[in-house]
Chain A
Amino acid sequence: MKLETFDRIDNISRRGLLGAGGVFVLAMGLPRAVLAQATEPPKYGADAQSGGWRDDPALFVAIGEDGTVTITCNRAEMGQGIRSSFAMVIADELEADWARVRIEQAVGDEARYGNQNTDGSRSMRHLFLPLRRCGAAARTMLEQAAAKRWGVNVSEVAARLHEVVHRPSGRTLGYGALAKDAAALAVPDHRAAVTLKAPAAFRYIGSTDVRAADGVAMTTGRAGYGIDARLPDMLYAVIARPPVYGGKVKSVDKAAAQAVPGVVQIVDIPAPALPSAFQSLGGVAVLATNTWAAIKAREALTITWDDGPNGTYDSVAYRAELERSARAPGQVSRSDGDADAALGKAAKRIEAEYYIPHLAQAPMEPPMALARTSADSCEAWACTQDPQAARDLIAEALKIPVAAVTIHQTLLGGGFGRKSKPDYVLEAALLSRAAGGKPVKVVWTRQDDLHHSYFHTVSLERLEGGLDASGRAVAWRHRSAAPSIGSIFGPDPKHQLPFEQGMGLRNVAFAVPNFQAETCAASAHTRIGWFRAVSNIPHCFAVQSFVAELAHAAGRDPKDYLLDLIGPDRTIDPRAMGDTTNYGEDPARYPVSTARLKAVIAAVANGVGWGRKLAPGRGLGIAAHYSFVSYTACAIEVSVTDGQLVVERADIAIDCGPQVNPDRIRSQMEGSVVMGLSLATLGEISFKDGRVQQDNFDGYELTRIDAAPKITEVHLVGGGAWDAPPGGVGEPGVPPVAPALCNAIHAATGKRIRSLPIRDQLSS
């Protein structure tokens, strides 16, 4: 049975799965022909996102009579700098003075603003051109208004830095003076009457001199996050949730909690049916006049739990299950040649198993939301990556029209995928209703965040390679066992969905004649969700570690071996590798380019000084990956002394096509290195008796400044052509870091790490 319904979905949000008639199409076997879309041409990129895209300046640009340009941003700001980048593109084409630009967040309304789901490293790659057109259209309208005012031909005027000039006479009119007239004009038909700037004329796009939009606020404590939202008479809610996914309250004694000063109300939230999608996990909520009272009162609740079907989930036992699953044939994900036969005939056969446990996104700001619910409406403020999903979820739960739900999007103190799931926003809406309409802010503590996340999946990757007599890889078989994100939305598929397979399992650009990738069954026993870079993390860790293991077996330099494996310069249709998802992009527009992959490898190899003589105890490692239609590579130098690991240097390169905001691309790469090191060395979410074992940052450790690389060097590669298809930036930096690190450790010590996190493995 062909799983056609999943073919073009790169981000399985619940809304993404709903067909045209609102029919939930995840159910296997439901023929797609039921929906009208069966005969439509495939949609890619921004066209395929729910809500599509908009470029109408009336939506995004407002100019006041004082000349202030207010740009409305329809993406969540969570550190990737999208507020600044979004506004920079519009402001550039608009010929606005950056100092006179302010930025507002759009309320959740995809019908109006187009898709707002900030996820999948899609914002700039989908919106670069629409935003340029938007700014250019607004500029055109200002020029038309000025020409009309002067009674001259519009060809005689030009917008230049917040004013329109009449070239022959030198007369000028400021944007403030023109704003009203311009707004009354019809928005020009973009494709006909609007000219985009020649890149040579860019002021902000591609510049490193643009002052970040929120810099002052973020350095003075004035930036407003979800946790900071306030309303008069607001109650604070802290919720005791079932410790096991699928559990519910068996009994609760509220008396002691009720007696804590400041407690106003204790509310039971029903547990959801499984799978729970974006529903609240349920439990017992304490509403109080301040956070501290709510926290204290929750501690005073005495609750017994019915743990439900996942009460025996144990990470140690589960690992053994994954290993058993990966050691038998699975479902074929990609098959070139005959890997089975070629492995049998190989001169040398190498096998390795790689394990990565669950991870928690752990944004520094835990999930937070404030809501005020009336009988027929709801207004909420939340640090959400997907305000429309929050809107839909609340409307459905409260049985009110979507139009009656207003979601104000605050800044996010980190997202990393956790905040694209609006369960916490729903909790606030439900509790406000239970509190008779009083505003309620739901506060997740760090323990709540670590216990009740949508965790990165857990995986066991089994690699088998066959070398010929000269050490060339002639056979490659990758069996990947990991529970799927699909398990939170519908019946557990038990095998990774096509979009997960298209994250470095099947779409590996190697010139190996016999290449097989398989998914092996793995059941989900907790909520699994997006964690920055998603399944690219375990797939790339395994693939790039294994390349180095093959190189070692062949007695060859790992970087040269990797380049040989990739093979000659060529572009590969992702579909030729079995990948029908390609991050939602058109395979014709975004083929996989081995030349681009080799270029980022060359950049980091060069940067780190690959091939130089190193002191004993030091080693270099390298890894590269294609993800989110960008190309990244990482090279790391480590020193290991008496079992102590020091990351001396990390070079990271990205080719993301056009580089709209180069400084933010650099900072995303710098941050990706740290996040990659964190998951490689420290962070593990483990389960016992169905419960998460880590309570805070003592149990779930994160990389701190003293373990950051001594030197971090970012290389921005390519980027010359502004009309080249843009690639993602937020996530691609993460996957190659862990394998580069472990390859460096092997080079330094001869010790091969196959199981993350590293923790104490070097001391033995």
Chain B
Amino acid sequence: MQLTINGKNHIYSGDGEMPLLWYLRDLQGLTGTKFGCGAGLCGSCTVHLDGAAMRSCQLPMSSVEGQSVTTIEGLSADGEHAVQRAWREHGVAQCGYCQSGQIMQAAALLAETPKPSDEDIDAAMAGNICRCGTYARIRAAIKAASAAGGRS
């Protein structure tokens, strides 16, 4: 099967049940997408699938044939997506492990809802656990990214 990752075409002929997460990490060496639970409960593995935020641990390779995947590595060429900039300006990250997923989720939110309310933010981000508890700054950074134009 064929799929596109960060703009590059790939051909895969292995176990169709393998979650996209492990294909990205183990077979492609794209380790920015993280493993936190393997059950779609924590959001650490969030990628964009044809633009939509999805949990890659819940996407078997067979289900992503012909689709276009964007990982954290491909979100921007230079780390300067509005969300990434806002994250740094607000010192959001503590251990940083969940933040790839948080950033991907936030970017998808802003792409769809450029001016999210507090309720929109909480609802969109509730699937992404942060054990370090950076939620207050995540909210602030999303608002700042939104104010800065939000999409790129």
Instruction: Write the residues of chain A forming the contact surface with B, with a CB cutoff of 8 angstroms.
Output: 77-81, 211-212, 214-225, 227-228, 230, 236, 261-262, 290-293, 295-296, 362-366, 411-416, 443, 445-446, 663, 667-668, 670-675, 678, 696-698, 702-706, 708-709, 712
Contact = CB atoms under 8 A, between A and B. Distances in A.
B146 interface: no
A697 B123 contact: no
B34 A364 contact: yes
A342 B88 CA distance: 57
Nearest to A674: B133
16 contacts: A80-B94, A215-B93, A221-B32, A236-B26, A290-B27, A363-B97, A365-B95, A414-B95, A667-B91, A667-B134, A670-B133, A674-B132, A696-B41, A698-B41, A704-B135, A706-B123
A365 B19 contact: no
A212 B134 CA distance: 15
A671 B133 contact: yes
B95 A702 contact: no
Contacts of A675: 131, 133
Given A216-B79, A218-B96, A708-B136, A663 B22 contact: no
B31 interface: yes
User: Counting chain B CB atoms within 10 Å of each CB, which of A292, A293, A667, A675 scores highest?
Assistant: A292
A385 to B, nearest CB: 12
User: Counting chain A CB atoms within 10 Å of each CB, which of B34, B37, B99, B133 scores highest?
Assistant: B133
Contacts of A678: 133
Given A219-B84, A220-B84, A672-B133, A290 B18 contact: yes
B64 interface: no
B41 A221 contact: no
Contacts of B125: 704-706
B38 to A, nearest CB: 6
A671 B94 contact: yes
Contacts of B42: 364, 446, 697
A673 B130 CA distance: 13
A704 B131 CA distance: 9
B10 interface: no
A79 B94 contact: yes
Given A292-B15, A706-B123, A79 B96 contact: yes
B91 A663 contact: yes
Given A225-B34, A698-B39, 7 more contacts: A212-B93, A364-B98, A364-B130, A366-B35, A415-B95, A670-B136, A671-B134
Contacts of B103: 219
B37 A670 contact: no
User: How large, as a class, is the contact surface on chain B?
Assistant: 35 or more
B135 A674 contact: yes
Interface string B44-74: 1000000000000000000000000001110
B135 A219 contact: no
A589 B96 CA distance: 35
B88 A219 contact: yes
B137 A667 contact: yes
B60 to A, nearest CB: 10
Nearest to B27: A290
B32 A220 contact: yes
Contacts of B98: 364, 413
B26 A708 contact: no
Contacts of B87: 215, 219
Given A221-B73, A225-B97, A667-B137, A79 B41 contact: no
Given A212-B88, A292-B15, A227 B95 contact: no
B139 A705 contact: yes
A227 B26 contact: no
Contacts of B44: 364
Given A81-B94, A362-B131, A705-B128, A219 B26 contact: no
A216 B99 CA distance: 12
A608 to B, nearest CB: 16
A293 B17 CA distance: 10
Q: Which 5 A-B pairs have the closest CB atoms?
A: A221-B32, A674-B133, A413-B97, A79-B94, A79-B95
Given A670-B134, A671-B132, A702-B129, A413 B84 contact: no
Contact of A363 (B30, B93, B95): B95
A697 B138 CA distance: 21
A79 to B, nearest CB: 3
A227 B35 contact: yes
A98 to B, nearest CB: 15
Contacts of A211: 88
Contact of A365 (B34, B39, B88, B135): B34
A292 B19 contact: yes
Contacts of A218: 93, 96, 99
Given A219-B88, A220-B72, A411 B129 contact: no
A603 to B, nearest CB: 18
Contacts of A413: 34, 95-98
A364 B123 CA distance: 21
Contacts of B15: 261-262, 292-293
User: Counting chain A CB atoms within 10 Å of each CB, which of B25, B42, B135, B138 scores highest?
Assistant: B135
B3 interface: no
A363 B131 contact: yes
Given A78-B95, A670-B136, A697-B41, A227 B131 contact: no
Interface string B96-118: 11111001000000000000000
A757 to B, nearest CB: 16
Contact of A706 (B31, B33, B73, B122): B122
A219 B99 contact: yes
A453 to B, nearest CB: 13
B144 to A, nearest CB: 14
A674 B94 CA distance: 13
A705 B100 contact: no
Contacts of B18: 290, 292
A78 B41 CA distance: 22
A334 B27 CA distance: 59
A416 B131 contact: yes
Nearest to B73: A221
Given A221-B33, A236-B26, A364-B44, A708 B97 contact: no
B7 interface: no
A221 B123 CA distance: 24
A187 B12 CA distance: 58
Contacts of A220: 32, 72-73, 75-76, 79, 84
Contact of A228 (B31, B122, B138): B31
Contact of B95 (A291, A412, A704, A705): A412
A214 B135 contact: no
Interface string B73-89: 10110010000100110
Nearest to B72: A221
Contacts of B76: 220
Contacts of A667: 91, 94, 134, 137
Nearest to B78: A220
Contact of A364 (B27, B72, B97): B97
B69 to A, nearest CB: 13
A698 B127 CA distance: 12
Contacts of B39: 446, 696-698
A214 B91 CA distance: 10
B28 to A, nearest CB: 11
Contacts of A708: 133, 135-136
